[in-house]
Amino acid sequence: MINLETPKKHRALIDQAHQVAMNMLRPISRKYDRAEHAYPKELDMLAAMIDGLSESGASEGAGATGVRRDGTDAKAGVKNGANLASVQSVAEMCWGDTGLTLSMPRQGLGNSAIASVANDEQLERFAGTWASMAITEPSMGSDSAALTTTATKDGDEYVLNGEKIFVTSGDRSDSVVVWASLDKSLGRAAIKSFVVTKGTPGMKVERLEHKLGIRASDTAVITFTDCRVPAENLLGSPEVDVKAGFAGAMATFDNTRPLVASMAVGCARAALDLTRELLEEAGIVIDYDRPANNQHAAAARFIQLESDWEAGRLLTMQAAWMADNRQPNSLEASMAKAKAGRVGSDVTLSCVELAGSIGYSETELLEKWSRDSKILDIFEGTQQIQQLIIARRVLGLSSAELK
């Protein structure tokens, strides 16, 4: 039976993540928001600490890499594993700063992609790499299946050609997980992901984007021109299974969407915590024992925001718990991403409004959190795409039947 309370064995990890967020990320949050594209060198020491904990086995899921579904028998008993630990620790880190969390070395979304679909040999070979993930293209919008980047087999190599945009950590990472089609005529089933090491001829970082939020995180445009990649760098199986369709590629999203949802949960909680303090300083008491309509309007609104936040948090934990227990979670992953993404934006912007001029100014971090949270409702699939996926799952319709 699922239990959405924080597992006892994860509490020490979550407390450590919170301490790091409070003492290391918060103090430099504004600095790197202003210094867009400057690399946060303070993160190197933190990344080394996480690597050490992971290697010692003392910190299961201490970052985005701990999301692989293992071979545990689903009937062997309830398991609270790396997925649940990851979403909770990532939420705590984003309570400190979302952009800095996305900038953590060796904790990129590409690492989650590798953990999701790589075979055992690839997991060992790519251990320690810092991988960003390149999916979006200029003409495809949110439809990942509409990508035009191609991968053509040539002997023991694949030749990649195409352009990717909005690649998080695209300039700083060691490698990039690139989604490309082996054969466009076969549709979604031919889409595979490849690990391309930085410095590979034909791969070029064209520019860095200036953004509304998460400015500490670099977001790149990368082109691939006759870029040759070893065949063994294709993640998972090279076979094209038309019957399986897009399932192999979507397995990545089933693991990364709960992570993005947890980022929204963490950022929103930061805004709620600070807003509560500001309201109390203004003499507004939030009383959970009284009906909302008998309290100050600001207190009533705050309680509503908290309840929405809690729904997003529980959906996120459910999706991660299901992954730990090897249960299909495509529906739940999209529900978590849709709810948490929308709630994150609503909560942070509403907190700016509740705090008035203090919320709108740089006196506090509220205005920054409202900017940072918006991307969490967009990347890894927009709100509209998530709702479309949810509708397909609920109604039992294919992508061709419900567009």
Q: What is the DSSP letter of 232?
A: G
Kindly list the distances between the CA atom of residue 51 and the CA atoms of 44, 46, 55, 112, 216, in Å, as whole numbers in the listed order. Answer: 11, 9, 6, 15, 21
- Radius of gyration for the chain, computed over Cα atoms and rounded to the nearest angstrom: 21
Task: For residue 124, indicate whether it is catalytic.
Answer: no
The residue to which tokens 């739940």 are assigned: 332
The residue to which tokens 């303090």 are assigned: 277
- 84 contacts 10 by C-beta, under 8 angstroms: yes
The residue to which tokens 């979670």 are assigned: 329
- Find the DSSP H helices in 40-108: 42-56, 82-96, 98-102
Q: Please, which residues bridge with residue 192 across strands?
A: 180
**Quick one: CA dihedral 266, 144, 195, 81, positive or negative?**
positive
Q: What is the DSSP letter of 366?
A: H
The residue to which tokens 């293992």 are assigned: 70
Looking at residue 278, its amino acid is: L
Angle 390-337-354 (CA atoms, 0-180°, nearest 5)?
A: 125
User: Under DSSP, is residue 157 helix (H, G, I), strand (E, B) or coil?
Assistant: strand
In 3D, which of 146, 226, 232 has the Cα closest to residue 191? 146
Tokens of 330: 């495509």
Q: What is the DSSP letter of 7?
A: P
Tokens of 383: 């709100």
Tokens of 88: 């909770």
Catalytic residue among 5, 280, 380, 401: 380
Q: How far is Cα 254 from Cα 256, in angstroms, rounded to an integer?
A: 6
Tokens of 300: 């009533």
Q: What is the DSSP letter of 162?
A: E
Which are the contacts of 140, defined by CB distance < 8 A and separation ≥ 6?
A: 146, 147, 148
- 146 contacts 158 by C-beta, under 8 angstroms: no
The residue to which tokens 């870029």 are assigned: 227
Catalytic site positions: 380
